Amino acid sequence: MHMQRLMIVACSLLVLVACSGPETAPKPPKVEPAAQVQPAPTTVAEPEADMAAEPDLPQPAPEPERTVAERAMDPTEPLPEEVKAALASIESDPAPEELIRSSHYWVSNEDFHNLYKKHIDGHGGVWVGVATDQNYLMAAWAKSPVLIMMDFDLQIRNVHELYGIIFRRVETASELRKAWKNTEQMHTWIEEDYKDKRKIKALKKTFKKSNASIRARLRYVVKVYKERKIPTFLTDETQFAYIRDLWRNGRVIAIRGDLTGDKTMLSISKALESVGLTVGLLYTSNAEQYFDFTPEYRRNVAALPSDEKSLVLRTRPNPKLGVPEGGEYHYNVQPLANLQQWLKVSRAKKVSWLLFRNRVDDEEILGLSQIIEDAKVSKRPPKVAKMPEET
């Protein structure tokens, strides 16, 4: 029995071995081939034929080329050559037979030019002015891009040329003031800028005579306007840089000229008109008190190119007109076109006639007035000198 069970087990084992066959290695899993990476196209694909093409976007219009006059009114760039040539053509009037009180007015004796500020701040027009340092003070407030300095005293023209020698070299207001007391340095600079021996001698002589007065005046202006808390070109470096750069960009000229003469004023008008410019601010100081409205003066002022912003700035040392506290001068503003009309149609002989009869005092500022009333037409028109080419 036992034997029979062993034989059955043995047979079973043989059957199992026969059925299993030889040993084989397991098959590796099936791997799908990797997808091929296509290179990026080197050109932009054309849009599908059925897609609408995008409309062309509008291109910005090119900047229009600026005119000579527009470039002349930009104080940040050198004066255009056309304007420089026009100003260089301005003629000098001959020397006067005598000077007022036989004196050279090296510096201003008007102390309240700030009364004009409400009318001139940021004005931006061409400046035409007589006298010396006050022109720089007011032109810096006005942001005038071109300065034409004129005076019938040749020494005053020389003072401006000395200012120009300094402004072209120094960087600060402090350096400007120091230069006026350094004779040796100034002599060197004069010789660097001028080659004519007579001109060099004349400028050195002017410097010797004027520098003490100029140093004292500049100190005074600094003191007074600091007390008034009003920045000036002598205390505010931005204002100083503005005037300095006008000189460096060839935007300041100085010439001997007479408000009643036959050359300078008419030359200024012709020069400005030739390049499309107008007088923005005409500063006469108190010069008008020394002459009547002569036919030549009427012609000269009437000929100036002006616009609706053009103003005349004048002073008059007369307390009856009203003066600021501590001051000696009355300060007056008049539209240039208004003055031109008065000179053409009214026989008013003096500026005092206009000031006493037609001024309007400022309600808030003592010592400041305007003349804005339309000119009164005289029964007989005044005599106005003819232009030179008409004689």
**Domain assignment of residue 197, yes or no:** no
State the burial class of residue 341 (Cβ atoms within 10 Å of its Cβ: 0-12, 13-18, 19+): middle
Q: Summarize pLDDT for 321-336 with one digit per residue, the tens.
A: 999 999 999 999 999 9
**Domain assignment of residue 372, yes or no:** yes
Length of the chain counted residue by residue? 391
CA distances from 90 to 45, 87, 145 (A): 68, 6, 18
Which residues span the domain enclosing 383? 68-95+105-158+238-390
**Domain assignment of residue 184, yes or no:** no
**CA 57 to centroid of chain Cα atoms:** 38
With 70 as the cut, is the pLDDT of residue 358 above it? yes
**Domain assignment of residue 316, yes or no:** yes
SS3 300: helix
Residue 13 confidence class, pLDDT cut points 50, 70, 90 = very low
Ranges of H-type helices in 183-307: 183-193, 197-227, 237-248, 264-274, 295-302
pLDDT of residue 35: 47
Side chain identity at residue 264, one-letter code: T
Q: What is the CATH number of the domain that holds 257?
A: 3.40.50
Mean pLDDT value of segment 199-211: 98
Domain total for the chain?
Answer: 1
**Domain assignment of residue 301, yes or no:** yes
Q: Summarize pLDDT for 181-202 with one digit per residue, the tens.
A: 999 999 999 999 999 999 999 9
Helix (H) or strand (E) holding 197: helix 197-227
pLDDT of residue 55: 65
**Domain assignment of residue 210, yes or no:** no
**Domain assignment of residue 354, yes or no:** yes
d(CA 79, CA 237): 22
CA distances from 13 to 1, 17, 20, 54 (A): 19, 6, 11, 84
Mean pLDDT of the chain: 89
**Domain assignment of residue 129, yes or no:** yes
